[in-house]
Structure 1
Amino acid sequence: MNHVSLIGRLTKEPEIKYTTSGAAVASGTIAVNRDFTNANGERESDFINFVIWRKAAENFVNMTAKGSQVGLEGSWQTRSYENQQGQRVYVSELVVSNFTLVETKEQTEQRKGQSAQQSNAKVNQHNKATVGSIARQHKTTSMVSKHHSKVVSRLMICTVKTYRR
């Protein structure tokens, strides 16, 4: 019998892709706390990779965010493939057949909002660095500074539209 049930937190936003036939497949990692503490009295975690298929994958991605606490049920699978260097690589992962949202919708929405704010802050920081680099290259700091806020604001609007689902 191959049945796995885990409760843990998503370590990052789940990633969704589509096969050539159009089937959705989402993947990610959850951190699962161990039942015991180590020699220092600290509780350690295991990081478990998972995949989830089809409509369930789309629902999972839309209903969760980094840090969401989820319950996953499925079977343990080990597969292998040959990498670009010709070496055999083995991957073990949970193939999810059912998931449960352990936290409320409001908690998840709050996490999604925090994640979007963090992403926008990173993009804004990158944009400022890019504009600064252009200014140094062209030695027109004052001219670029005047247009800096317009450039960043336009990029921020594009970024916000990109991250909305």
Structure 2
Amino acid sequence: DSIHDLQSEWKGQSWLGRAGQGLAPIVRPLGWDWRIGMAALASFPAREVMVGTLGLIFSAGEGEADDDEYRAALGDRLRSATWDEAPDRPLFSVPVALSIMVFFALCCQCVSTLAVIKRETNSWGWPVFTFVYMTALAYLGALAVYQVGSLLT
């Protein structure tokens, strides 16, 4: 799997990979590593980008999110993903998956939502408040779900 390791190293050195590594200490309490943080960051323009980004990060090949073969390949890669510093520890678990779902259910949906709020209120105050409030709420919700879930598993 040396090609996969090389691709992973290259992704970690990209601009988005470095941003994900910068986010790692912030998202670690959610049970996420830098790759999940990178996918969450990439999904800010549109939430549906999360699946495609995870596919690229974990080298699931090319395809669409609604393609059965692509989804199967992505599922296999995600199930076999491990922490960089602990290759024997699976990256994804039930608490991690629930943490991701809660985060995306509670956070501000996408940049277009903020643009509409800006246009409707004719102010930057409400979009900034919405982004900060919804992101903090999502983070705290995901944190609670992961931490409690980890205690129960």
TM-score by length of 2: 0.27
Which structure features the higher share of strand residues?
A: 1
- Structure showing greater radius of gyration is 1
Q: TM-score, normalised by structure 1?
A: 0.26
* Larger relative helix fraction: 2
